Structure 1
Amino acid sequence: MKWKNILNKQQSAGLAMVSVFIMVLVISIMNKRHVLDLEYSLTTIYDDRLMAENHIFNLSKKIYQKKILLNVDEDRLMMSRIHINDSINLLIADYEETKLTMDEAFQLKKLKSSLGKAELFENQFVYSSSAEHRNLLNPELRAQYEIILADLEGLAMLQLHEGQKLIDQSHRIAASSNVTTRLEVGLLIILGLMTHIIFAARPPAPKYSYFDNLN
């Protein structure tokens, strides 16, 4: 009966060990998922937020360059305008390659519309043969550039908002991973103790003496 009780206890302990092992395996998979989520979050912060913010900064620089060009002669204005507009189009295309939220897509559409209006004013300004007409267009064009800069500022604020959301998400993932890691370590310790108990509780092997064999 004593042996039977010992065997029953060992079976129960064995089942408990299997359960703990399965829990450790599940937690290990969760930790791996946390690592992948954290890696994705950090990649998104760089590719879709920091790079997008860099595009916005460069677009703002181009608009300020355009404002300065309004004070130069017509030939230089025409050549520089073509170069700057090409750069702006490339930056817009790069920005569109990033992952956009609905708010960002709406703000970008607004920005492109403002850029289109500015280009119409620029065409009139550059190709106008009347100095008086250019003088009338100058403040309108400057005002349009201010609208574009405001649109860019709106995009920048959205970038900050979305970037903060990603950082908060990364913190939550890291905190969750920390908890599951501690739980995994605790379960491994329990598993080790249970293994020790099972082997310690094994019934001793029967002892045979030389005289028993003679009988």
Structure 2
Amino acid sequence: MKWTYSIQNKLTASGVLLTLCVLVLFSNYVDRDHTNNVKNSISTLYEDRLIVEDYILKMTIDIYEIKQALHVAGRGGEPSAGQVTALLSHIDGLSEAYLKTKFTKDEDVTFAELLSTLNKFEASASQSDEDKLELANQALVLLNELSSIQLEESKLIMKQVEELYISGKVASQFAFGITIIILVVLQALVFTSKTLPKTLPPSGAQLN
């Protein structure tokens, strides 16, 4: 019965089309999700790693300038107290900006040690230049550790971005493959419906 088969074909075609629509919507959702994840990773890399690395570099330069001033004093020169105070004030501002970024567990511990060292340095007015230099060197070591943390975290973020890109590419290829299969099925249904043999009229109708 051709009409029965035709109805079955239409129902099958409708189901296939519905599946295709769902697949397209799902593919769009996956693409948007991957795009958002990549954007978030890049934002984290910029805001919490690259900018922080700039803070660390500036603080390192300030510490070296403070050490230079202390060396001048050690050679009998007269270091500018105002210069050291200005450098410490600049470091405090950078530290405040640093605190607004996202910390890892190790970074939190290391930065707390750095703040403690800087506080000791600011309170070391009555100490010898050798003690101040020791505190400055400790601060440089901690800044170097913080810089290493930024590098490692940046590598992890880039690895995550690469994994997101690969998974998104695989998902897109899978969705494309399923779409091709669905289109082939639809084409087969259309071709089958067109090539069905015509039903012969009843014998009574031929006699009339």
**Is the shorter-chain TM-score for this pair beyond 0.5, marking a shared fold?**
yes
After superposition, give the CA deviation of every residue in 1:114-172 in whole Å (9 maximum; x if it has no partner).
Answer: 00111122x225xxxxxxxxxxx122111111110111111111111211111111111
CA contact 2:9–2:193 (8 Å) conserved in 1:
no
The 1-side partners of 2:83 and 2:4 are apart by: 94
CA distance in 1, matches of 2:9, 2:66: 84
Instruction: Look up the SS of the partner of 1:98 in the other structure.
Output: coil
Root mean square deviation, CA, Å: 2.2
1:201 deviation in Å? 4.1
- How do residues 132-147 of structure 1 correspond to structure 2 at under 5 angstroms? 137-147=128-138
TM-score calculated relative to the size of structure 2: 0.84
- Kindly indicate whether the alpha-carbon contact (under 8 Å) linking 2:20 and 2:182 is maintained by their aligned counterparts in 1: yes
Count of residue pairs the alignment pairs up: 194
Which residue is equivalent to 1:124?
126
Residue 158 in structure 1 maps to residue 115 in structure 2: no
Output the amino acid matched with 1:118.
F
Which secondary structure state, in structure 1, belongs to the residue aligned with residue 56 of structure 2?
helix
- Consecutive unaligned residues of structure 1, counting only runs of 5 or more, are 126-136, 207-215
Structure 2 residue ranges without an equivalent (≥5): 199-208
Question: What is the SS of the residue equivalent to 1:72?
Answer: helix
Q: AA paired with 1:92?
A: S
Q: Of the candidates 166, 177, 187, which is equivalent to residue 196 of structure 1?
A: 187
Contact between 2:16 and 2:186, CA under 8 Å: does it hold in 1? no
Partner of 1:130: none
* Identity within the alignment, %: 23
| Structure 2 residue 161 is matched with structure 1 residue 173 | no
- Distance, in Å, in 2 between the alignment partners of 1:198 and 1:188 is 15
Deviation at 1:78, TM superposition (A): 0.4
Q: Which runs of 4+ in 1 moved over 6 A?
A: none
Q: Which region of structure 1 is more displaced relative to structure 2, 110-119 or 99-108? A: 99-108
What is the rounded CA distance, in whole Å, between the counterparts of 2:47 and 2:182 in structure 1?
43
* Superposition TM-score, scaled by structure 1 size: 0.82
Report if aligned partners of 1:70, 1:77 keep a CA contact under 8 Å in 2. Answer: no
Say if 2:117 is the partner of 1:114. yes
